[in-house]
Amino acid sequence: MTRMGRLALSSAWTLGCMVVASGVSAAPAAPPNGEATYAKYCASCHEQVGARIPTRSALEQMSPGRILRTLDFGAMMSIAYPIRRDERDAVARYLGHGSDDPPPLASAFCKADRAIMAGPARDSWQGWSPAADNVRYQNAQSAGLMAADVPKLQLKWAYGFAGDVTAFGAPTIINGTIFTGSAGGAVQAIDAKTGCLHWLYQSNGPVRSAMSVTAEGGKTTLVFSDQNGWVHALDAKTGKMLWRKRPEEHEGTRLTGSPAEYQGVVYVPAASWEETRSIDPNYQCCTFRGSITAMRARDGAVVWKTFLVDPPKQTGKTAAGTPTFGPSGAGVWARPTVDAKRGLLYITTGDNYSHPATSMSDAIVALDIKTGKIVWATQVTPKDVYNSSCGAKGANCPEDAGPDYDFGSSAILVKTAAGKDVVAAGQKSGMVYAVDPDQNGKMLWQARVGKGGTNGGVQWGMASDGRNIYASVSDVVRPPGGIGGPGPVGNANLDPNLGGGITALRIEDGSKVWTTPGVPCAPPRAGCSPAQPGAVTVIDGAVFSGSMDGHIRAYSTADGKIVWDFDTRKTYTTVNGAQAKGGSLDGAGPVIAGGMVLVNSGYPRFGGEPGNALLAFGLPGGN
Ligand code: HEC
């Protein structure tokens, strides 16, 4: 049987081919050939016998799906950045062998006594944040956890994402059932109390978005996106697909941000791989346009679509003669925030990838929720034209490159003690901005919570309990000269003492209530960082934040004192029988409901450590 023939037997990767077939390539490209891709991008290392380099024969024992995952989200991420999606598929098929990871063990599945979504309605955390304001606050009743008990939290169970090296799906909990994506693209429904598995659905790409939840006509519909540009809708009860669509044609589309839901419509943010793909000097940079697509949850019909930049035109050529295009970028990386009172949707945007610079990059933008029309926009960093080729001053880097200060996290809708609404957003620059939704986004205050940088500042999101805003920062420090140099990507060594920290700000004026600095790695070790890039979560009296060294900590909201600390970097015996270990904490933050605190561990990017564990903490004797 040919390699292609063998692959066709595997449903997951047949879907992978569909992605390519329906995608519109931004740059004209020859049909991908696995052997040629291997020769160009892999052979220089994998044809030699080195202490740390697995040989080609070792790679040939892996499944195509597993190789693809390594390129997309594993050890080879920084090498794979310039490689197109169809080339990745081709090289994985060329090298790989056998079928994808085996199905879960029969013993992993729930018995009849654990029905799906049968718990109390309060045991829920729906979507990226329990409410549309995106503040990642869980009230006492739903949390089932008092601040005084937080120091007693202990590990209740661990679940392994089989075959993965990353754990980054943002969990959603409905009536005691967890719905989570994974790096391998398997979306799984897991019982929150016991960790048993209800069902598993194979997506078209890695899934990190949280599920949006729509209840209509007695049916609960989950809508989520994957990293290859697909939006999926499932019946929550059965895991059966209701529909699947690509809201955006661009080949480099990368859907990371969770959809928001309002009255039966989901709002899907779109960002892309293009910024990193431009590391390749032959890549025609750049044509992707950040957007929001409003889709009906019932059938995926598009209600409206709004782009954040105008259609690109050719703007010139690089020194190497490669045509350049623009405007581009202003990707939307995070869940939109619904303001039902004003009928607005707030989004935050990333940088422009190429010239010309536009007014809607690095901005907080308000859209009419019914029509998608842009009502106002507050740009905080103008002229931020940047792409990943700038890390090594590559051909596609604009001469006057900007600082790469994307907004990577959602705007949050908060209220002052006097009842005044405020929209706040944390940026990679290390700044938190607060704007006035009643004065077209006029700046109310700004506060610095970190140093900022391409991997610095606020990355995945802040939290608020209505008193303060809690912002943790990455501020990872890479000493120059580490592997890959001081650029934005690459597995450079990290400074084990510098980075991280969490600050509480007053909603009224942004003044600091307290700051707790990052905790140096102990013992100091190469490749370890105290950075706190992950999203923050708050309950009454305690705020939770993870760090790249693998620690999850809870801080007192009163004074920032650390009240609980657990090192997740270990090997686990799992409830589903999959091998699992912990690593860096990054991305989606902890999720709390029904007395359980869920934490993903493992994030091998930007120098982080791999891992594939979903950990559930609870109180002794409880549950
Ligand atoms: C610059 C050298 C280099 C290049 C180029 C390179 N690799 Fe690797 N690769 C490595 C090293 C080193 C490791 C082991 C990483 C580790 O775990 O420490 C590795 C690991 C892997 C693994 C994981 C093996 C496992 O045990 O899980 C896969 C799969 C892989 N590479 C595939 C590829 C493919 C496909 C390409 C080309 C698209 C490629 N690599 C290009 C150096 C390279």
* Strand (E) or helix (H) holding 89: helix 85-95
Taking the centre of ligand 1 as the mean of its atom positions, its distance from the CA of residue 274, in whole angstroms, is 22
Nearest CA to ligand 1 atom 8: 76
The residues, ordered by sequence, that sit 6+ positions from 39 with a Cβ below 8 Å of its Cβ are none
What tokens were used for 17? Answer: 């081919």
Least Cα distance to 434 among 508, 365, 370 occurs for 508
Taking the centre of ligand 1 as the mean of its atom positions, its distance from the CA of residue 54, in whole angstroms, is 7
Taking the centre of ligand 1 as the mean of its atom positions, its distance from the CA of residue 56, in whole angstroms, is 9
SS3 292: strand
Would the CB of 75 count as within 6 Å of ligand 1?
yes
Would the CB of 137 count as within 6 Å of ligand 1?
no
Would the CB of 53 count as within 6 Å of ligand 1?
yes
The residues, ordered by sequence, that sit 6+ positions from 57 with a Cβ below 8 Å of its Cβ are none
What architecture is domain 106-618? 8 Propeller (2.140)
Taking the centre of ligand 1 as the mean of its atom positions, its distance from the CA of residue 206, in whole angstroms, is 19
Would the CB of 42 count as within 6 Å of ligand 1?
yes
pTM of the model: 0.87
**Residues 225 and 291: beta-carbon distance below 8 Å:** no
Query: Measured between alpha carbons, how far is 388 from 178 in angstroms, rounded to an integer?
Result: 35
Would the CB of 44 count as within 6 Å of ligand 1?
yes
What 443-451 contacts at long range (C-beta under 8 Å, 24+ apart), as own/partner pairs, is 443/378, 444/510, 445/509, 445/510, 446/510, 447/503, 447/505, 447/510, 447/511, 447/512, 449/473, 449/501, 449/503, 449/505, 449/515, 450/474, 450/475, 450/501, 451/475
Query: Measured between alpha carbons, how far is 562 from 554 in angstroms, rounded to an integer?
Result: 6
Q: Which residue has the tokens 């120098």?
A: 607
- Give the Å distances, CA to CA, from 67 to 53, 76, 447, 472: 14, 9, 43, 33
Nearest CA to ligand 1 atom 11: 53
For residue 280, the number of C-alpha atoms closer than 13 Å in the C-beta half-sphere is 18
Taking the centre of ligand 1 as the mean of its atom positions, its distance from the CA of residue 509, in whole angstroms, is 49
Least Cα distance to 406 among 251, 290, 249 occurs for 290
Q: Which residues of the chain have pLDDT under 50?
A: 1-26, 51, 482-491
Nearest CA to ligand 1 atom 9: 53
Cα-atom radius of gyration of the chain, to the nearest Å? 23
Would the CB of 77 count as within 6 Å of ligand 1?
no
Q: What is the pLDDT of residue 523?
A: 83
Task: Answer left, alpha or beta for residue 81, where phi above 0 means left and psi between -120 and 50 means alpha.
Answer: alpha
Nearest CA to ligand 1 atom 17: 75
**Residues 92 and 68: beta-carbon distance below 8 Å:** yes
Would the CB of 91 count as within 6 Å of ligand 1?
yes
Taking the centre of ligand 1 as the mean of its atom positions, its distance from the CA of residue 71, in whole angstroms, is 8
> For the chain, which residues make up each domain, given as ranges?
3-95, 106-618
To test the pocket of ligand 1, the residue of 76, 77, 85, 101 to mutate (highest count of ligand atoms within 8 Å of its CB) is: 76
Ligand 1 atom, smallest distance to 88 CA: 38
Query: Measured between alpha carbons, how far is 385 from 400 in angstroms, rounded to an integer?
Result: 8
Q: Is 259 exposed, middle or buried (0-12, 13-18, 19+ CB in 10 A)?
A: buried
**Residues 308 and 289: beta-carbon distance below 8 Å:** yes
Q: What is the pLDDT of residue 70?
A: 84
Taking the centre of ligand 1 as the mean of its atom positions, its distance from the CA of residue 531, in whole angstroms, is 26
Taking the centre of ligand 1 as the mean of its atom positions, its distance from the CA of residue 80, in whole angstroms, is 10
DSSP 290: -
Taking the centre of ligand 1 as the mean of its atom positions, its distance from the CA of residue 484, in whole angstroms, is 15
Report DSSP letters for 598-621, one per residue: EEEE---STTPPP--EEEEEE-TT
Would the CB of 45 count as within 6 Å of ligand 1?
yes
**Residues 123 and 290: beta-carbon distance below 8 Å:** no
To test the pocket of ligand 1, the residue of 35, 38, 40, 46 to mutate (highest count of ligand atoms within 8 Å of its CB) is: 46
Neighbours of 597 (CB within 10 A): 27
Report DSSP letters for 26-80, one per residue: SS--PPP-HHHHHHHHTHHHHTS--SSSPPHHHHTTS-HHHHHHHHHHSTTHHHH
The residues, ordered by sequence, that sit 6+ positions from 621 with a Cβ below 8 Å of its Cβ are none
- Give the Å distances, CA to CA, from 30 to 25, 36, 72, 374, 470: 11, 11, 21, 39, 49
What tokens were used for 273? Answer: 């791989």
Taking the centre of ligand 1 as the mean of its atom positions, its distance from the CA of residue 287, in whole angstroms, is 30
The residues, ordered by sequence, that sit 6+ positions from 530 with a Cβ below 8 Å of its Cβ are 496, 497, 498, 499, 500, 518, 519, 520, 521, 547, 548, 549
